[in-house]
Chain A
Amino acid sequence: MRDVLRHHLFWPVAALVVLLVANTIARPGFLAVTVRDGHLFGAPVDILRTTAPLLLVALGMTLVIATRGIDLSVGAVVAVSGAVALSHIASSPNPDSPVTVLTAIALALVLCLLLGVWNGFLVSVLGIQPIIATLILMTAGRGVAMLITNGMITTVNSTPFKVLGSGFWLGLPAAAVLAFGVFAVVAFVVRRTALGMLLEATGINPAASRLSGVRSRTLTWTVYTASGLFAGLAGLLISADTMAADANNAGLFIELDAILAVVIGGTALSGGKFSLSGTLVGALVIATLERTVTVLGISPLVTPLFMALVVIAVTLLQSPRMRERLTARRRQVATPPGSRPAAGPGPTPGSTTDPTTDPTEVKA
């Protein structure tokens, strides 16, 4: 029981469960999923679909935060991606042809990749603080997106492109399949290879990891590039959902939602240890919270208030001071029988455990 309580996913999952229970009480059929026309329907499926863009952005954000960085530009990249893709489709003579759609997707993704490369260059090569380096693109990016769409909201009709936003693959929303697929691949690569450990090493101490042979600069550059690419993909999902490129409002505040998802998931903004499974739960909490507010009949405009309360509760519960207090109480209880102090598993002499196999860390 104590292990469950101490698990880093305990509070985020508890928040998710509370939200789901509240929804089920307000609307008893909330968790029901039915099959209609060969597709799954129901609120949970809908939550999965609305989580998809946020999950992609938060995935990139987690990797960036693991290296002690932050990427504020993702919202602007989302806007640029949608603007490029939809402008290309709108300007082509045949918006329904798969070639047009694939070219549009490729154009958008390549441009977003380059924007990520630019952020990575500023941070890893020029050594500019991540928050400022990405603030530049955050400010300028929306201007660029408006430049692409000429300041108008570009709307198009393209059946193949629309599938990304509201279509179904294998009975599941295409957006969710795509986002969860990318998530699974990244989680696999990061956790089944040494990459995750190297990222954490870079985040904990860039200088020390460089001296011990980790290519911190390349890694940092890579995570910003990945973040740009994932944000671009999220931008495609968002623009395909609305079929409109709105340079002002597409992906507005998604960077903050993504940071919240990462923080709710238990990854500290100070870099180092990160939890992809935590980010997944965090993104689900945010999407479910948004849904809950509507189900409970509260104006969706008040959503930020509830988000703030969840974040304050989760961060306070995870704060070092609170942990100290909890462990101190536990130590008082635990030490009298003469057992070893509950200071956590120290490195035993001669052990070859690598730093990522911390018992509190769960493989995503």
Chain B
Amino acid sequence: MLAKFTSFLLLGIVRLLTGAQARWHGCPPKAEQRIYFANHQSHVDLILIWAALPTELRSITRPIAAKDYWANSRFKRWLTSAVFNAIYVDRSRTKDEHGVEQDPLEPLVDALQSGDSIILFPEGTRGFAPEPQPFKAGLYNLALQFPQVVLVPTWIHNVQRVMPKGEVIPVPVLCSVTFGTPMQLEPGEERRAFLDRARLNVMALRDI
């Protein structure tokens, strides 16, 4: 109940501040299993994509949140798990009690196996520069494991102006989320080549 109210409130605030406009440029909003991968510049990114998705898709799409940041206080953990139904990822590789190194992708693999769509920021962290940093390997590994899942490049426009790194109060600036043409892992494609192509596909949406 409280989670529902919070999500309603957050949606209202995000719409008032940013307009939260979705632009389905390369594909329609559709209830198929997808990985949305986007540039990452602000904490608002996650909420913005989430707000831009239609209600039906929002309930089957789970964002990825860094465990070290989003689960380090009770409120943040409640917000990300109850409201956004987020999947936590360890940014640092940890070992379990048997000394076996954990695969940070495991929670994502679980989510994809159960049929959810996910929102991924392949840069791994928020950037300052106008261009996204090189993508990390996670996207490639997931694409390799789940060839049937549709990969949708996504560009978030303007959001770094709403809340630059280090600020806590957002200012109203119109933002939009552009969803591009889905891409696929070509047979035998190298990891680096694929990741660079994915990054270029995301960046190409900037000027549309």
Mutual binders A and B: no
Write the residues of chain A forming the contact surface with B, with a CB cutoff of 8 angstroms.
none
